[in-house]
Amino acid sequence: MAAEADKVWDVAIVGSGFAGALIANALGKGRKNVIVLEAGAGIPPNINAYMRRFYSAFAKVPESPYTPEIFGPNGLSDPSAVNAGRPTVLSLGPKGGFGDWTDPKQAYLIQKGPRPFGSTYDRVAGGTSHWLGTCLRFVPNDFKMKSHYGQLLDWPIEYKDLNSWYGEAEAELGVSGDADEQKFCGVEFPSGYTYPMRKIPNSMTDQYVDKSLNSNPLTEDETRFLGMGTPITRIPVRGVPAARNSEPYRNRRACAGNTNCIPICPIQAKYDPTITLNDARNTGFVTIAERTVASEIVVGENGLVSEIRFIRYRTDTGQTTERGSVRARVYVIAANAIETPRLLLMSKNGGRTARGVANRSDMVGRNLMDHPYYVVWGLSPEQIYPYRGPLITSGIGDLCDGPFRHERAAFRVDIGNEGWNFVVGGDPNVTTLDFVNGLNRSGLNPRPDSLLGNEALFGKALADRLNEKFTRQFRCGFLIEQTPDADNRVTLSDFKDGLGLPRPQISYNLSDYTRRGFIAAHRMKDLLFKKMRLTEFTRVDPDDPTRFEEEIDGKPVNMNYIGAGHIMGTCRMGGDPKQSVVDKFQRSHDHKNLYLVGSSTFPTGATANPTLTIAALSLRTAKHILDSDFRR
């Protein structure tokens, strides 16, 4: 691309996930010449190759349809040989075993602990094809934790600043929802607002949860532990707004309930950023450079970013094919909350920005957050027919805000429609194997005093048994708000990737406030399972690196967590340049032509999935760039 060397673009964007794609499209529509540097492979003409990889995959993990290859000839691919690597959930295993989370030969992230960071990401279009589609708004108090509850910190913006941008984002992504149903915990909509599409209907599982919880009023004794301030007698089960078509929308089909939003929707009824990227290219103003890894942000003597250097490769583990740089008037880093700080920290400018670009505050990389996800499961007394519909259609959101936030972290409850698919190591395989071969990995085929299973069946007895078990599987999860802690941090490792660039090093832990949220979630699980008359099967393996013990009601309880895929907080937004990295428009305090976008700028993580807020902030930033950076 010789032309790249000479050209001065209006805007150069690093990363083509939600934030990068939405900003590229908005700027392209504004007739700005935009180049997007994408570290991963480009957008394929269709998803057939992804589907084939997914169907063939031995481990159908979120990353399974996408490149680069997860497996090499001897197990997991060695990240030191991969040009644009990525973490995988398979490298969160116990120490010394397969996928050892601390082994740099297996894990892309160099995890220093003390606990594993559980979330992963992908490369193509930010890997965001493998998201669930959930499009919840934050609730107003999520932006005001310090002033309202004396905990965490406030955002420099409020819900009312984002209200109309949430609407813009809902239109762009194509969200199905019911505005009346979503008015809880202070969430408001502009007068007469409707979502672009009607809501996705509740699953049979959702209906059973609602009936079990709310057929009779809950008592004050039962719900006191929630600390909601005023006694509650009802816990609503509400539909979850999702960027998943409930009717044809923008040339995409309605959801057919493939129960596969993650890793991939086979019919693209769920929005993903490749859709916006194609729109962006169709403006005629946006160019996407694939397999092009930004390696350094160059800052001139005037304090402005002058260029971004890149390294280009052709195959996932092949040699570098080109080194170059792009120049632009405005630069946007939209990598994600691990890769964005990594790039900033790598950019030392020969020592002039020794701590990294945009890092005078020393806050770049700090306050890494996730929604540590506490997952529980059981068997229902009646058939609730999981494995049908989108992965999640409803949840419990009303418990995510209240006076309890003075004391402990909030949580939101997801109700799974996929049975025990991921909780027992891959159902339907695990349970089927149990009843065919007389094993008991699922826990559903126990034999007293034996690790073996009780039954090994053939014929109709087998089909009957599998129907009886599968149709009653239930699982739910608690997304717990995590405190931003300065020591939960992305730094640079001495271990390199295939391009010779330092891989991200992660330090991660759970604070006491966050863990008190787990305790409340555990009590909520007890209430829910009691009302649902479930037989619980939740188990925490002794060697699970995320396992921890809490004393609850005088008894030790083992808990664990998985990553929610919600990587947040490493380039905090704020008003004070000493305490934050970007301002309320996501512009770097240090470099006026540099924007950092995506959930890296979230000061706090709340309990809602971050995507809609990423999208709203991105559209707002795009408008700001058009209005302020290109004003005549």
Partner 1 sequence: MPGALDHQRGFTLETTDDEQADAVTRRTVLTGAAAATAAATVPAVLDTPARAHSVDPNSREHMVLFVLLSSALTGITAPKLAPGFRLEPRPTNPPTVPAPPVDLAKSVPGSDPVDIKREYLTWANEKYPSGLENLLQLVRKNLNAPNREQAIIEALQFGDDDKSKTASDLDAKYLARSIVLMWYLGAWYEPAELKALRKDPRPVPAFRVVSPKAYTQAWALRVAQAHPMGFSEMQFGYWTRPPNPRADFA
Q: Interface residues with partner 1 (CB under 8 A)?
A: 51-52, 54-58, 60, 201-204, 207, 246-247, 254-260, 264, 266, 383, 385-390, 393, 417-419, 421, 425, 428-429, 431-433, 436-441, 451-453, 456, 458-464, 466-467, 470-471
Nearer to partner 1, 391 or 582 (CB): 391
Pairing of strands 594-596, 238-239: unpaired
CB of 246 to partner 1, least distance (A): 7
Residue 580's contacts (CB-CB under 8 Å, 6 or more residues apart) are 156, 361, 363, 572, 573, 574, 589, 603
Nearer to partner 1, 41 or 254 (CB): 254
Give the Cα separation of 260 and 132 in Å (integer).
Answer: 9
Nearer to partner 1, 322 or 382 (CB): 382
Packing angle, helices 273-282 and 18-29, rounded to 10: 20
Rg for the chain (alpha carbons), in Å? 24
Nearer to partner 1, 103 or 401 (CB): 103
CB of 256 to partner 1, least distance (A): 5
Nearer to partner 1, 101 or 602 (CB): 101
CB of 202 to partner 1, least distance (A): 6
Nearest to 220 by CA among 210, 207, 229, 212: 229
CB of 531 to partner 1, least distance (A): 21
Tell me the β-bridge partners of 558.
549
CB of 439 to partner 1, least distance (A): 5
CB of 387 to partner 1, least distance (A): 4
Nearer to partner 1, 269 or 501 (CB): 269
CB of 444 to partner 1, least distance (A): 13
Give the Cα separation of 142 and 134 in Å (integer).
Answer: 17
CB of 466 to partner 1, least distance (A): 5
Residue 278's contacts (CB-CB under 8 Å, 6 or more residues apart) are 43
Give the Cα separation of 167 and 188 in Å (integer).
Answer: 11
Q: 236 to each of 187, 211, 322, 630, how far by Cα in Å?
A: 15, 10, 56, 47
Nearer to partner 1, 156 or 390 (CB): 390
CB of 237 to partner 1, least distance (A): 13
In three-state secondary structure terms, 420 is coil
Nearest to 588 by CA among 599, 605, 601, 604: 601
Nearer to partner 1, 374 or 385 (CB): 385
Nearer to partner 1, 287 or 393 (CB): 393
Asked if 591 and 357 touch (Cβ cutoff 8 Å), the reply is yes
Pairing of strands 305-313, 320-333: antiparallel
DSSP state letters, 45-60: SSSHHHHHHHHH-SS-
Residue 275's contacts (CB-CB under 8 Å, 6 or more residues apart) are 250, 252, 268
